[in-house]
Chain A
């Protein structure tokens, strides 16, 4: 495997990890708004998960940017130039959301505003984030390499953008509903569990439909991607299979107890489903970062930098793992935290 391919593999892994955690994070914000004051405590549960974790998830987002600059500096140049407006808007919403997350913890009066802001931004930020995908597949950038700019009007009138956004949002809500169903079950709240479960049942097929439509109505400039995607059929078939198993497991009987569904299993297989599809999509996207001007080979960093970055990723991961473990124990497993009134 060449260094460039290894780097893009790392990059895709980070994007994948963030898209899962980010979906759960922003989705939890959305559900906390929808079920604010709900009798099942579903909103409280979503918020209980969100309070200690959003900050860590936010670091992952910064990690994406930093990793991209480190691995593919030329890509940072292109996307930095082109994405000025959408990314600035993301930063704007993100700042307001983060600030209110913290403020509402200190002063109770801000709770309602916080639920509203975190819920709305939980839809807006992911929509803007996923706009990177249609932009990277070509047709929305004008000018030559030295003077590029985004064709904003063309982007916002293109059905491709909205289908990507639709796919992104349904996926976000599906994943977060599954996660919160599991979190509710660990918290021993069966009512909230069945609420999130029924949301997941509704959303699951919608994610598939929107994925299908995104593929069918791909912009004409992206025909290269469609052709390549067809070449990666096997990954999508496997992904579909994973979806069927995960979806069916929502009706499996609970072990040793009355009740229905195995949310932990469903969640993990669904993550696998998205993982398989991401592999297919990522392979089809190669070697382009932004079609047709920028490939991973042109954008790649200095070799020496790449190797020191790789070494530091390994060292950093080794240092951080115990921290993540303690964190997981305290906020995702500890009954004293999960079952407080």
Chain B
């Protein structure tokens, strides 16, 4: 493998691993805050138990999120030194502000975990709020750098590569920042909620005491409500992000849709794959006019096709599949949450019937599916930008390290990620086995 591909594989793996923990690290604190608030309003102890147990899981996940985030942050300089040289000059601001968000999260996480028993209730709520704030702020700030790679702004560059006329805040608030950062935050909330719905649904599959069933039903209802809201907003913001592509990165949208000819009344291709030989989408369903309408709200919108651009700057064809998987899974999840909530309203709440097994099994899958959605989205966003690292400014080959020792290090880190994954699962199961929810309930009532 040549160094550039190896660097991409290495960094992609690191990022893909970190994203799992980072996403839950943003999503779970929101759920904890909501549970704490409901507890304060309703006085129902079950919500306090939820907050406590979710915090426990969150703390374990943070044990991987922090080091994997440190790894990704530092590996940027190790694997993409050419890229970081430009980043340092133009877009180091969000990185630096992220450190402050990171500090806020770390400080208040320690306070919430290690000093909870010495704090008044309201201060516990304040600290968990700051944890949630720090987490989502980190996510948004790091996305600022990624959006700048997609739609670079705030600097000028001479043909010899010299950078001048830098406007750091313009780089920060580049054209796709607001839309994508919002999308990242909301989808993280959606995934955190679905992850909790997964666990609650799983717990409801087995026979349990009425007391425990009631507890898990509350958890399921709360998480489904949040998940439904967030997936609905995600769909809208995803749509907005696609419109930004139409405006600022047309070849990415063209590749996502497998569109080759520039046209008005462009069709939307769902499913299938882009055949590199015939240069068309095969086995897909075409909805006439739909792409033009989605791209800018009018059927006669002209959507640029790939032929408009030099062939060597075409993104890889598989991004069509990634894009479909992301949108498809997201839509499926939105529908699933809606069905489950309707079922809850008409049958569980009004008639006291339990959830049917098949629906619970689907809900068990919702967390992993939501996570897959996020992964597909990131891989789409980054592969769809190829061959560029900074769109139309720097190619990935120019950005990559020239060091040839990557192979062994890649293996070392693959081992590390496997080890951490296994350990995380072991620790979580060991802890929750030793501390079942009944124990927490006894503690509170006794």
Binding site for B on A (CB under 8 A): 51-53, 55-56, 58-59, 61-63, 65-67, 69-74, 76-81, 83-85, 87-88, 91-92, 94-99, 101-103, 105-107, 109-110, 147, 149, 301-305, 308-309, 312-313, 316, 319-320, 323-324, 326-327, 330-331, 334, 336-337
Contacts and interface: CB of A to CB of B under 8 A. Distances in A.
Interface string B91-125: 01101111110111011111101110010000000
A77 B401 CA distance: 9
Interface stretch (B160-168, B271-279, B385-393): B160-168
Given A66-B92, A95-B67, A323-B107, 20 more contacts: A55-B110, A58-B67, A62-B70, A65-B74, A67-B96, A70-B93, A73-B86, A77-B82, A80-B78, A80-B401, A81-B402, A84-B405, A91-B70, A91-B71, A95-B416, A97-B67, A106-B59, A302-B155, A302-B163, A304-B168
A90 to B, nearest CB: 8
A59 B99 CA distance: 7
Given A99-B63, A304-B167, A304-B168, A77 B85 contact: yes
6 contacts: A65-B77, A70-B93, A78-B81, A83-B78, A320-B103, A337-B114
Given A58-B70, A80-B78, A320-B103, A70 B416 contact: no
Interface residues of B, number: 71
B75 interface: yes
B114 A331 contact: yes
Contacts of A98: 63, 66-67, 70
A72 B88 contact: yes
A309 B92 contact: yes
B226 to A, nearest CB: 25
B63 A312 contact: no
A326 B120 CA distance: 14
Contacts of A71: 88
A103 B427 contact: yes
B413 interface: yes
Given A65-B77, A81-B402, A106-B56, A56 B420 contact: no
A58 B66 contact: yes
A312 B70 contact: no
Contacts of B423: 99, 103
A62 B110 contact: no
B70 A94 contact: yes
A95 B60 contact: no
Contacts of A94: 67, 70
A144 to B, nearest CB: 12
Nearest to B10: A88
Nearest to A103: B427
Given A301-B92, A312-B97, A327 B402 contact: no
Nearest to A324: B107
Contacts of A76: 77, 81, 84-85, 88
B430 interface: yes
B99 A107 contact: no
B114 A52 contact: yes
Contacts of B70: 58, 61-62, 91, 94-95, 98
B431 interface: yes
B62 interface: yes
A98 B229 CA distance: 35
Nearest to B62: A102
Given A69-B95, A80-B401, A99-B420, A56 B427 contact: no
Contacts of B420: 95, 99
B90 interface: yes
A313 B420 CA distance: 34
Nearest to A53: B110
B169 interface: yes
Interface string B157-180: 000000110111100000000000
Contact of B78 (A87, A102, A334): A87
Given A83-B78, A91-B74, A327 B60 contact: no
B427 A330 contact: no
Given A62-B73, A92-B416, A56 B110 contact: yes
Interface string B238-273: 000000000000000000000000000000000000
Contacts of A312: 93, 96-97, 100
A337 B111 CA distance: 12
A81 B97 contact: no
A28 to B, nearest CB: 15
A59 B88 contact: no
B41 interface: no
Interface string B37-63: 000000000000000000010011011
A63 B99 contact: yes
A87 B434 CA distance: 38
Contacts of A77: 81-82, 84-85
A55 B66 contact: yes
B324 interface: no
A87 B82 contact: no
B187 interface: no
A84 B100 contact: no
Given A87-B74, A99-B67, A66 B96 contact: yes
Contacts of A56: 103, 106-107, 110
B118 A316 contact: no
Contacts of A320: 100, 103-104, 107
A334 B118 contact: yes
A94 B84 CA distance: 22
B173 to A, nearest CB: 12
A308 B88 CA distance: 12
B64 A99 contact: yes
Contacts of A91: 67, 70-71, 74-75
B89 interface: yes
